[in-house]
Chain A
Amino acid sequence: MPVSPAHADTATPRLQVQRLTKRFGALVANDAVSLTVMPGELHCLLGENGAGKSTLSSCLYGLYRPDEGDIHVDGKEMRFASPADAIAAGIGMVHQHFVLVPTFTVLENIIVGTGSGWRLPAAEARPKIEAICRRLSLALDLDAEVGDLSVGQQQWVEIVKALYLGARLLILDEPTAVLTPQESALLFASLRNMLADGLSIILISHKMNEVMQADRVTVLRRGHVVGSVRTAESSRHELTTMMVGRALSAIEAGERSHDGTTILSVKNVSMRDERGVSLLSDVSLDFHAGEILGLAGIAGNGQRELFEAICGLRPIDAGEIMLEGQSLNHRNPHEIYRMGVGHVPEDRFKDGLVPDFSIAENLVLGDHREKPWRQGLVLATGRLREAADEAIRNFSIACNGAEAIVRRLSGGNAQKVILARELARASRVLLCNQPTRGLDVGVIEYVHRQILEKRDAGAAILLASEELEDLIALCDRIAVIFRGEILAVLPGRQADIAEIGRLMAGGTDMQAGDQDGDRNGARNGDRGMSN
């Protein structure tokens, strides 16, 4: 692995960006951004969506060309025409969405594009890659097909690939978004090793517990650098305030107000896919009025299936789902929504919205044949617009009005459109699957408040989230799901994150620093861990 002899005390920064400006038409995505990263430094880029983090990293990786400003790597001025130039200059990048070929082996994925002529330098590359893995004490099977690896392992392939290509500066774009708390801890432990070797790392993140592990944090807001501080001399509160531009008050869930009546009950529900693989097995959960039930689990362990079963989107093979004494089995989603169930689906643009429709049209999606919205054969456009104007006011959706096309909205505003629609429906039950994924801190706070308001109004709420801290702050009880099974239901506010993390991984004991944990685990797209 490439080891730079220089260390943090040397005068030459690994990366120096001076007054970099990048415009897209009228939009200034980066406005005179300056950034200095020393060798061996873990430098965090913090900012809300649209603050300019991705644009900056794309400029550093040669995907965009800056309009003004310059980039120095190890003291030499660089002009990247393409990622190939950036890689040659020692910059590596691990994207949030991996760019791997699933049908290639690990080795092939790492060396693809490196050979000259027709031949891949597989034989020469193998010992070098093995050396990198040894240095990171990483047990990566170079001959395994990447499609068979867990998401955590795929991320390691990306990192090893960047190191193999000679990266001295590694850009990691939200690397823990797909990892369990344990996998994240392992990642950070290994990052520390790499830093000790003189590698510089730019970490793009908005998770405060990760941000605080960096040596230095540069905060971006609306394309400007708000400040660059040493984490040792700062605090979470200060950084959040810098990022959002105002102080956020911590969410106080307060005491639940429910009387304990069960509104929705899921009894012994099982579901299999077409090939007979179990997706949900014997799931039983009760949902009480005025209570938030959290659902913790690694993505792909049956959360989506549970939501879809309750909404009637997927048939169940066994068991029963009852809403205040009425069976929901064999009812179609529209009927179920009409019974007072709101559903904020996991993927807002794919499941929840029609991107080419206006806000007004999206707000009546599903109810477009129902009374107030329909006049005879045509839609009551006037009423649609009035309702949309009201929702835009109530939910402070930033847009050009009721006719604004949803495709152009930011993730947060798009989610507000879904919330406006689903909260109106959810007189009894509100189902939220990852309602804050990818949203800005300010919007997350807003979504949480809306959910709490609904709870206080007496609805039963199911909330699935990858942010365990949020679940603990908001939920009265937390159910942990693993491979379609509910392993435990824990009391919410006293829950221990480590305990939830352990259960999310299947309940096996894992000691901190057990570095084989995430590698020997999952097979064949199974993202859980087992060892």
Chain B
Amino acid sequence: MAITAVMGYRIERRSTRSPFAWALALVLAGACALLVCAGLFIAAGADPWQAFAALLKGGLGSKRAIAETMVKATPLILTGLACTIAFRARLWNIGAEGQVFAGAMFAYWCQSALGDAPAPVQIAMIVIGALIGGALLGGLAGILKARFQVDEVISTVMLNYIIVYALSLLLQNGPWTEAGSFFEQTAMVPDAAQLPVILAKTRLHLGFLFALVAAAVVHVMLLRSSLGYEIRAAGSNLRALEFQGVKITRLIIVVMAISGAVAGLAGAFEVYGVQHRLKSGTLGGLGYTGIIIAILGQLRPIGVVAAALVFGVLLNGATLMQIKSGVPSALIYAVEAIILMFFLIAWAASEFRLRRLHHVE
């Protein structure tokens, strides 16, 4: 249907999305995003070329840089997957943020009960604890929605605050506080409980491989399993599923719990793979960024891994960018948002085409 006509051209909605138009829109969006970012860097008083170069060098310039990019991408892959699972079912789980904390906390609680157990037991316990912790918090939002019709956006955002402050409570002169420390953090975890480094002289830890495995599992789950079938069906037409007698309440709770469990892994891997102690500050933002990752990844696990790696480059390169060009590294969050916005514009724009009118007035 005609939207508007300007100078003999008209914008029309396409009946099917063409891959060519999508690719073209992506390239244009990328160029626009670069331009806007360059403007931002100039406004910050830096040379944009220098800033971009530093950004890329910091993110991809060496074996260590690449490994560190993967470290940064690990939690984002997992939170991106968590959001993907829920969003595919049209459950707007904004709670990956809190579920990251819940996973980290539950894993810490389980692992700290183990004492001197050997490394494989410790790591198995961390993974299981993280899954359970995340699932509990996600599942709670699911129960609230399924049983009491509480909107999941509201409940998950509220639960995010609750869990973050609950951790503060435990860390601020609480039972988990490191003896004699002024900081909100636990003591270092034992060596046996630290995720092994998989590339010498870097921080790249086992969690990255686990995240890739998780992406593969989620991919198969969504496309091949009965549960994935129900998740995709719920995302397309919940009513048809209901008409077949599928228990929607159960499905909502299960999906939210699985989504939370995957987000929980992100928290535990940050604690046991990177920080080696539970701190309140370092887990913040992972869940919210996961939402962006899931959207940029088009709610596909492979896309999520790609988007998380791109964001890993940005986050990792930001430090070198600040050192070399003076652009504050915090500006990288604005860059993330600019990328997301242009991506969404490209997605919407590729649904339309410009058509030359045959009649000339």
Contacts and interface: CB of A to CB of B under 8 A. Distances in A.
Interface of A: 24-25, 63-65, 67-68, 79, 81-82, 311-313, 332-337, 343, 345, 349-357, 361, 365-366, 368-369, 374, 377-379, 381
Contact of A361 (B229, B246, B361): B229
B149 interface: no
Given A79-B359, A353-B237, A374-B226, A365 B244 contact: yes
A388 to B, nearest CB: 14
A337 B245 contact: yes
Among A63, A354, A365, residue most surrounded by chain B Cβ atoms (within 10 Å): A354
Nearest to A334: B245
B226 A65 contact: no
Nearest to B5: A81
Contacts of A333: 243-245
A354 B5 contact: no
A332 B220 CA distance: 29
A321 B219 CA distance: 43
A350 to B, nearest CB: 6
Nearest to B234: A354
Interface string B207-242: 000000000000010001110011011011101111
Given A24-B15, A345-B243, A356-B232, 13 more contacts: A63-B2, A65-B10, A67-B358, A81-B361, A313-B242, A343-B243, A350-B237, A351-B243, A353-B240, A354-B236, A354-B237, A357-B232, A357-B233
A366 B243 CA distance: 8
B239 to A, nearest CB: 6
**Chain B: interface size category:** 20 to 34
Contact of A379 (B2, B226, B242): B226
A30 to B, nearest CB: 14
12 contacts: A25-B15, A312-B245, A333-B243, A334-B246, A336-B245, A337-B245, A350-B237, A356-B237, A357-B236, A365-B233, A368-B229, A379-B229
Interface string B271-286: 0000000000000000
Given A65-B357, A67-B358, A82-B2, A365 B226 contact: no
A366 B359 CA distance: 51
A352 B220 CA distance: 26
B7 interface: no
Among B232, B237, B246, residue most surrounded by chain A Cβ atoms (within 10 Å): B237
Contacts of B237: 349-350, 353-356
B1 interface: yes
B4 to A, nearest CB: 10
Give 9 nearest A-B pairs by CB, closest first: A366-B244, A334-B245, A333-B245, A356-B236, A378-B224, A354-B233, A332-B245, A354-B236, A354-B237
Nearest to A362: B240
Contacts of A352: 240, 243
A29 B230 CA distance: 37
Nearest to B12: A24
A355 B359 contact: no
B5 to A, nearest CB: 7
Contacts of B243: 311, 313, 333, 343, 345, 351-352, 366
A475 B245 CA distance: 29
A109 B5 CA distance: 28
A355 B232 CA distance: 11
B239 A379 contact: no
B24 to A, nearest CB: 17
B357 A368 contact: no
A366 B245 contact: yes
B224 A365 contact: no
Contacts of A381: 224
Contact of B240 (A312, A351, A379): A351
A352 B247 CA distance: 16
A343 B240 CA distance: 12
A377 B222 CA distance: 12
Interface string B1-23: 11001000010000100000000
A214 B236 CA distance: 42
Contacts of A337: 244-245
Contacts of B247: 332
Given A356-B232, A378-B225, A379-B229, A63 B1 contact: yes
Given A350-B240, A352-B240, A64 B2 contact: yes
A67 B239 CA distance: 40
Among B2, B15, B230, residue most surrounded by chain A Cβ atoms (within 10 Å): B2
A403 to B, nearest CB: 13
Nearest to B16: A408
B359 to A, nearest CB: 6
A373 B37 CA distance: 51
Nearest to B10: A65
A59 to B, nearest CB: 11
A366 B240 CA distance: 9
Contacts of B224: 378-379, 381
A374 B236 CA distance: 21
A350 B2 contact: no
Contacts of B244: 333-334, 337, 365-366
Contacts of A350: 237, 239-240
Given A25-B15, A79-B359, A368 B226 contact: yes
A334 B235 CA distance: 20
Contacts of B2: 63-65, 82
Nearest to A348: B240
Contacts of B361: 79, 81
B124 to A, nearest CB: 22
A346 to B, nearest CB: 10
